[in-house]
Structure 1
Amino acid sequence: MSWLGKIFGSKEEETPQSAPPGPLGLRLKGAVGVDSLPFRVAGDRLVFAAPEGNQLIEAWGEVELGGGSRLHRYYLTDDAFLQVSTTAGQIDDVKLFVFHETRNPSNQTAFNEWVKRGSQIGAPYIDLGGQRYDRVWGDKDAAEWAPPIVFDEKVYNKSFTEPDYDLTHYAMLYQRLVPGLDRYEYVIVSAEDYGPDEYCITFSVGVDVSQADLTIT
């Protein structure tokens, strides 16, 4: 069962409503097709591997950042998500991430090891998949640890009006310029707090995408 399946259960248990479209026409229970050819051509220069075929939007995450800024996260069938950043309703950028690795701290003490000063989340760089990525958020020139960015996410699955659950992220974004491709590859590391004694650490690898890379239905 996929990462999303473990959270939401089987598809037969879902009773989705018809959701209004969001940025780019994306909507809960809609579908996204990704043009994977550019990523397959890149071969092993990318750690990222695009999901194949039509992907159902199984969940929608909403993050209010303040000042009219918002993140929309559309969680897809094959352990991937589209992240759309908007300001005052205008799209700033679109990234496609795939979940690379998940770890499950056994208790709050173990979770706190991931978010305390000097932890891996917030280090000046991170190594993943044989590549090195430099920190994006915080002081980029500092050779020291930077605190993770904290934000709350509401996640909708069965209804687009009432969230199924919410969580708090303690996250840091990293990037590298991919040689020969003139594009960036990203890693977002997030320590996720779902509530009493439920924690998860996710490592996701992503790239920038445009509307031309996507078929949205």
Structure 2
Amino acid sequence: MFGWFKKQKEEKPQRSQAPEVLGLRLGGAFELDDLKLKIIEPDLTIEGAARTQIIKAVGEVKLDSQSRLLRYYTDDEGFLQILQHGTDESGVEEVKLWYFYESKPIDTQARWQAVLDNEIVTAEKTLEEQVFTKVWENTRPVPMTETTWDQSGNMTTTDQFVMVYERQVSDDLFESLLVSGEETIVNNQHDRSVVTSTGINLTPTDFTLIS
């Protein structure tokens, strides 16, 4: 636990079924620290991150009976990801800012199987001439299921098969790479893609809630 926000004793009115934490909520907004981004952005894959971002959708991945990932998708092609143990704000362990880099559709079952077997998990990944090293020891993609709520009240489910990579940018800055094979059912058909995102850790002073 990294001392995020003190637990609020007053209960807030329920706005939607989408999970809320650290004041982040569906339809809300936050502001990223401008000075920090100006300093580190030239060394990152991320370019032109909007300082003010509106949350358009919320995702939840239950890792086990005690832990979950919450993802707050914004209008700037990115998301804040919260690693949380339990549902109390004192259980927040990590906050990361992710940005989507690319999404490649997968059209056939054979291609999908090849991606799962050989392409998501490798010892290293190279992106824009930068080398990222595999973080987890798993030799197969890690499966997880995300439930997502959007502002229209729709709720969808996506199966994901992921691996995380990392590179050291400076003494106190690391950039992460997330490779995710994603599968949903649309009109009784499999909709599959491989999504690549890059991200960094945030501290409590790196972003501010504005609504």
| TM bucket normalised to smaller | 0.7 to 0.9
Distance 2:200 2:28 in 1: 22
Distance 1:190 1:134 in 2: 15
Matches within 5 A, 1:50-199: 51-89=49-87, 90-116=91-117, 119-138=118-137, 146-158=139-151, 164-179=155-170, 181-195=171-185, 196-199=189-192
Per-residue Cα deviation, 1:107-145 (whole angstroms, up to 9, x for no partner) = 2222222101xx121101111122001111116xxxxxx
Greater than 4 Å deviation, 4+ residue runs? none
Per-residue Cα deviation, 1:71-109 (whole angstroms, up to 9, x for no partner) = 000000010000000012310100000001111111222
Gaps of 5+ in 1: 1-16, 140-145
Distance 2:151 2:36 in 1: 34
Query: Sequence identity, in percent?
Result: 29
CA gap of 1:43–1:88, structure 2 versus 1, over 3 A, is closer
* Cα drift, residue 164 of structure 1: 1.9
**Among 180, 195, 198, which residue is 1:202 paired with?**
195
> Does the 8 Å contact 1:36/1:51 carry over to 2?
no
CA gap of 1:106–1:40, structure 2 versus 1, over 3 A, is same
Which range is displaced more, 194-203 or 73-82? 194-203
TM-score, with length taken from structure 1: 0.81
CA gap of 1:36–1:105, structure 2 versus 1, over 3 A, is farther
> Any idea what SS the aligned residue of 1:23 has?
coil
Distance 2:48 2:80 in 1: 11
Pair 1:34 & 2:35 matched? no
Distance 1:194 1:59 in 2: 17
Q: Give the counterpart letter for 1:110 in structure 2.
A: R
* Cα drift, residue 159 of structure 1: 6.1
Distance 2:112 2:169 in 1: 32
Distance 2:177 2:202 in 1: 15
> Does the 8 Å contact 1:34/1:50 carry over to 2?
no
Q: Give the counterpart letter for 2:15 in structure 1.
A: S
Gaps of 5+ in 2: 1-13
Task: Please provide the CA RMSD for this pair.
Answer: 1.9
Per-residue Cα deviation, 1:165-207 (whole angstroms, up to 9, x for no partner) = 101000000011113x521100000000012220111110000
**Among 197, 209, 213, which residue is 2:206 paired with?**
213
CA gap of 1:164–1:21, structure 2 versus 1, over 3 A, is closer
